[in-house]
Amino acid sequence: MSDTLNLVLFSGTADKLHAAATLAAGAAAMGQPVNILLQYWALDAFRTVRLDESAGLAWDAMADGASRPVKGTRAIPWMDTFRMAKELGEMTILACSGSLDVLGIDVSTLDPIVDTEGGIATFLLAADGGQIVFI
Amino acid sequence: MSDTLNLVLFSGTADKLHAAATLAAGAAAMGQPVNILLQYWALDAFRTVRLDESAGLAWDAMADGASRPVKGTRAIPWMDTFRMAKELGEMTILACSGSLDVLGIDVSTLDPIVDTEGGIATFLLAADGGQIVFI
Amino acid sequence: MSDTLNLVLFSGTADKLHAAATLAAGAAAMGQPVNILLQYWALDAFRTVRLDESAGLAWDAMADGASRPVKGTRAIPWMDTFRMAKELGEMTILACSGSLDVLGIDVSTLDPIVDTEGGIATFLLAADGGQIVFI
């Protein structure tokens, strides 16, 4: 089995993307290859035009009595952390063809950190039976 | 370790169920057995009476500036994709006994694609130490 | 590869925490060590002051036609299930340093079931290449 860390990113809020990026950066720093598939709202968040906006917070932040990020959500540096992960090690980011189609997004409108587009089979072949984390 | 792909499905929105079904179908097509546990809102979405309704979208779809599925959520064919996965390979779907109880659902009201009901121990024994993905 | 079950807990609603605790207890009962990292809203939910409040339900519970837990959300015994897991086997709970900082939480305000605080590197070193489940 491959020791690659395979991440399926589905969610598009700043807090969850930050959790994902932290995991990717940690694994990259420890020498594990990282293989990422962007689906639905995570894919949507990687559009260049959205990077300067706040991506919002998970529903859990709305609960009674929940803390709120003290520095505000714009200060959650999820994309900076992904860029750092890419510098630290081997990380490939694939835009899911099916999600591009459902959301009506052209791959050319995504941030250049995205390497290419492809389907679930492409992702699973690269995963090579290694573990998959869905975020 | 088993090469079975073990999925714990918790969420019940059409987009997330579709992401789960795509992963199940991809793994089944590549010859991996797929072992699924339905909990909470995923279990709820498999009730026969709900299959003709829209299951909604994840909270992330509500964010400022998010794309919306261009064809509407009814067009997200999550159950069709699960049915395809079952034809493509070996896939077992277990309804979580604890969630049936908490939600007050009778197992006979679920779609027949669900094979049986059981607890977390049944699921983990079938998983046999293989990887678990929580969706 | 380690047979430890490594859980990254991100979500803070009672239903998802219960699903996580059930998985942890099942694995502990079967002799697998369980290594948990608390991030964001899961970390927030472990504050002592919040344990007597309802932690709410996932967004999926808001969907049209969704069932509602018949006994109410206060009756979802997620913390009791974590305490049971700790008695059943070997389970370590780490509070994520980065999340403590972003949310402005002091580690001394968390329930004593939390063992210590640390970063993603500490968590990944303990994981030792074993499987990671993100909840």
Q: B60, A41: Cβ pair inside 8 Å?
A: yes
Q: Inform me whether the pLDDT recorded for C63 exceeds 60.
A: yes
Burial of B52 (0-12, 13-18, 19+ CB in 10 A): exposed
DSSP string, chain C: ----EEEEE---SHHHHHHHHHHHHHHHHTT--EEEEE-HHHHHHTBGGGTTS-----GGGGSTT----TT-GGG--HHHHHHHHHHHS-EEEEEEHHHHHHHT--GGGB-TT--EEE-HHHHHHHHTT--EEE-
Q: Which of A41, A131, A134 sits opposite B58 (nearest CB)?
A: A41
Closest CA to A132 of B98, B135, C51: B135
- Cross-chain Cβ contact B102/C71 below 8 Å: yes
Among the residue ranges A9-13, A79-83, A93-97, C49-53, the one predicted with the least confidence is: C49-53
ipTM, two decimals, is 0.94
Q: C9, C10, C60: best mutation site toward chain A, by most A Cβ within 10 Å?
A: C10
Q: Which residue of C has its CA nearest to B42?
A: C60
Which amino acid makes up residue B49?
V
* Cβ contact, residue pair C132, A29, below 8 Å: no
Of the partner residues C59, C67, C131, the one whose CB lies closest to the CB of residue B59: C59
CA distance C109 to C48: 6
Please, which pLDDT band fits residue B74 given cuts at 50, 70 and 90?
low
Is B86 strand, coil or helix?
helix
What is the pLDDT at residue C135?
98
Shortest Cα–Cα distance, A87 to chain B (Å)? 27
Distance in Å, alpha carbon of B31 to nearest chain C alpha carbon? 21
Of B28-37, B41-50, B51-60, B117-126, which gets the smallest average pLDDT?
B51-60
Residue B106's DSSP bridge partners are: none
Element holding A24 (H helix, E strand): helix A14-29
Model pTM? 0.96
B30/A121 CB distance under 8 A: yes
Which of the two residues, B64 and B27, has the higher pLDDT score?
B27
Segment (H or E) for A92: strand A91-96
Which residues face C128 on adjacent strands?
A: none
| Contact flag A120-B66 (C-beta cutoff 8 Å) | no
Q: Which of A6, A34, A67, A76 to mutate to test the interface with C (most CBs of C within 10 A)?
A: A67
Burial state string for A88-110 with b = 16 or more CB within 10 A and e = fewer than 16? bbebbbbbbebbbebbebeeeeb
Size of interface B-C (CB pairs under 8 A): 81
Per CB-CB distance under 8 Å, the chain C contacts of B54 are: 64
Chain C positions touching B124 (Cβ under 8 A) are: 26-27, 30
Best B3, B4, B41, B53 member to test C by mutation, with max C CBs in 10 Å, is: B41
B102-116: per-residue pLDDT in tens?
999 999 999 999 999
Closest CA to B56 of C41, A27, A59, A20: A59
Query: What does the alpha-carbon distance between residue A93 and residue A131 come to, in Å, rounded to a whole number?
Result: 16
Q: Distance between terminal CA atoms of chain B?
A: 22
Q: Is the dihedral of CA C67, C71, C72, C75 positive or negative?
A: negative
Q: Test C23 with B134 for CB contact under 8 angstroms.
A: yes
| pLDDT for residue C70 is more than 60 | yes
Domains of chain B: 5-134 (3.40.1260.10)
